[in-house]
Amino acid sequence: MKRVLALPYLLWMVVFVILPVFLMIYYSFNDMSGNLTLQNYAEFLSSNYIKMTLNSFWYAFLITVITLIVSYPLALVISRLKHKTFWLLIIIIPTWINILLKTYAFIGILGINGILNSVLEKFGLMKIQLLFSDFAFITVAVYIFIPFMVLPIFNSINGINKNLIWASYDLGASKWEALTKVIIPLSLEGVKSGIQITFIPALSLFMLSRLVAGNKVVTLGTAIEQQFLTNENWGMGSTVGVFLILFMVFVMLVTRTKKESI
């Protein structure tokens, strides 16, 4: 009976996860005319792609760190509020809006004729081009990832037994010591999930870099897009994809939480 019920999920996994991954691995060993080759891998390991990889990691790292710096205090404050579910909802609602729409909204805000610049103009300051810079890229990415980071952190802070915090006060801890010695250590699992959920997609952002960063930020995500859509070199695109998956597995292993490690 159990097996029968598991069948649809198994089928789903095979068709939408396992098969595509194998297809991708297969393509990564093909050159443009369909012959088996290791050429793509050789090219990836050449300096150009390595630089791109480092670039991707660097941006993903920046995005994750800034998102964390914003989200942790936010989650902490929400967990202390009276109507916490309401405020959490306020944070989550933007995730219901399509990423593209949000990105275009930022173009409206940051653009040369956007809201921010008209405010600057009012104060008699120069107009500056905020768009098409890594600043814009990181700002928008951080904005998009904040809810995904806040949610797991909020959940783990909220799950901390109130008596533990009282016990720390009881033993003489100040609010700051209670935070650093009890709350933060006990919410690390949430932080790890938040990092996973941010860092991994941030490695392969491509739409954002195209739209907000111009072509200033080149990451593995943009490389894949370019190989598939512009160069029509599926082999090379797949190779980059394979590496991306390897990196993601690596990141997941590094940030795995206690419960996941068996």
Q: Which residues bind other proteins (CB under 8 A)?
A: 161, 163-164, 166-174, 177, 181-182, 185-186
Q: Is 114 left (phi over 0), alpha (psi -120 to 50) or beta?
A: beta
Q: Which is nearer to other proteins, 61 or 166 (CB)?
A: 166
Q: Which is nearer to other proteins, 125 or 171 (CB)?
A: 171
- Provide DSSP, 44-57: HTSHHHHHHHHHHH
Shortest distance (Å) from residue 221 CB to other proteins: 37
Shortest distance (Å) from residue 95 CB to other proteins: 31
How far apart are the C-alpha atoms of 46 and 170, rounded to whole Å? 59
Shortest distance (Å) from residue 189 CB to other proteins: 10
Shortest distance (Å) from residue 156 CB to other proteins: 12
Q: Which is nearer to other proteins, 51 or 80 (CB)?
A: 80
- Tell me how many helices (H) and strands (E) the chain has: 15, 0
Q: How far is CA 63 from the centre of its chain?
A: 8
Q: Which is nearer to other proteins, 120 or 173 (CB)?
A: 173
Q: Which is nearer to other proteins, 45 or 164 (CB)?
A: 164
* Contact assessment for residue 150 and residue 91, using Cβ atoms and an 8 Å cutoff: yes
Shortest distance (Å) from residue 65 CB to other proteins: 23
Q: Which is nearer to other proteins, 61 or 169 (CB)?
A: 169
Shortest distance (Å) from residue 246 CB to other proteins: 32
For residue 218, the SS3 value is coil
Name the β-bridge partners of 36.
30
- Provide φ and ψ at 36, rounded to 5°: -70, 135
Identify the CA nearest to 37 among candidates 220, 233, 231, 204: 233
Neighbour-count burial of 117, counting CB atoms closer than 10 A to its CB (0-12 exposed, 13-18 middle, 19+ buried): buried
